Structure 1
């Protein structure tokens, strides 16, 4: 499983930025996102910015990561998943039943050629 961390740009450049997360500062590649101004939240995986985040999404991801840590340590974690507790999970549109069925049919080709 891949885990990305929200980091805030403190100094931007064309190809890299200095980013901060909870006091730790690191150089982050911007090759996938392009230049980002200071103050922008980024989802960072293995030193590379994957995509920009809004402040609410960055907060939700931080809460989820804190929740996993709390659960592993045997502490209360439910309050950190307030956006998920007491609701049914939702699939993204690309994984919803009709979209998935359509993609499967399209991959088979005409008249079920993919079934051979």
Structure 2
């Protein structure tokens, strides 16, 4: 049997991503901004669907950037049945936003896997 003699530390950005994804798996709901349609933004590369893990962060962002938008809950059913197909068809990338306006882009498949998949633990 091989022994591990030395472990390399993981990069800070990878640690952050893993932490975010673990949180997403357990929170059960996300928040987007809505006003007669979902808020969509763009950066130099992509059209982005911004979402937040809580309504307070979404509200603070809307106050500054989109005052006519309000936070709206996104349930797993809403995401999978209506939002995911639309984002995929329009090639819009979901991005988790935080309170300091940083964005963490995810593919729609990553969203489905990490946030909306039914997690079933199997006995060892």
Q: Same fold (TM over 0.5)?
A: no
Whichever structure has more strand as a proportion of its residues is: 1
- Normalising to structure 1: TM-score of the pair? 0.28
- Normalising to structure 2: TM-score of the pair? 0.27
RCO greater where, 1 or 2, for CA within 8 Å and sep 6 or more? 2
Bigger Cα Rg: 1
